[in-house]
Amino acid sequence: MLSIGDLSKRTGVKVPTIRYYEQMGLMGAAERSEGNQRRYEKTDLERLAFIRHARDLGLDIPAIRELIALSRHPEMPCADADKIAADHLVAVREKIAKLQRLEHELERIISHCDGHSIEDCYVIRALSDHGLCDGEH
């Protein structure tokens, strides 16, 4: 059995986050010792590692909840899990594209700034007037 502190150290997940995951139903309620301390088993450690990895990949709580539910049925086809991952990949690619547009626009704004004072600063003017931007970002 592991304490919540041990679980935290072994997974790198902070204690308040572990409690939050319990409240959200991602982890089952921990057993309690006679002193009312939470006690965790190896399966809890594995579940928390799963959640941590999913969060590191950017999956949100509803997606993780669904993946956990799917994992309870190992005999089922994995199409639903694949769809969750594929949908997340689409969202990640959209974020990357948006960040690339932001990068381009910031590079453009900076390259236009040759003023020596704030009154001539293109960065300040562009931030004040969205019409000076190259496009949507």
Listed by start position, the domains of the chain span: 4-76, 80-132
Q: What gap in Å lies between CA 8 and CA 97, rounded to an integer?
A: 35
Q: pLDDT tier at 127 (50, 70, 90 boundaries)? A: confident
pTM: 0.80
Of the candidate ranges 31-35, 38-42, 52-56, 98-102, the one whose mean pLDDT is the lowest: 31-35
**pLDDT at position 12:** 96
Q: pLDDT tier at 115 (50, 70, 90 boundaries)? A: low
Q: What gap in Å lies between CA 99 and CA 104, rounded to an integer?
A: 9
Does the 4-76 domain belong in CATH 1.10.1660.10? yes
Q: What gap in Å lies between CA 57 and CA 64, rounded to an integer?
A: 11
Mean pLDDT of 32-59: 93
Which of 71, 131, 73 is CA-nearest to residue 105?
Answer: 131
pLDDT over 70 percentage in the chain: 99
What is the 3-state secondary structure of the chain? CECHHHHHHHHCCCHHHHHHHHHCCCCCCCEECCCCCEEECHHHHHHHHHHHHHHHCCCCHHHHHHHHHHHCCCCCCCHHHHHHHHHHHHHHHHHHHHHHHHHHHHHHHHHHCCCCCHHHCHHHHHHHCHHHCCCCC
**pLDDT for residue 122 is more than 90:** no
Higher pLDDT, 16 or 33: 16
Q: What gap in Å lies between CA 99 and CA 26, rounded to an integer?
A: 31
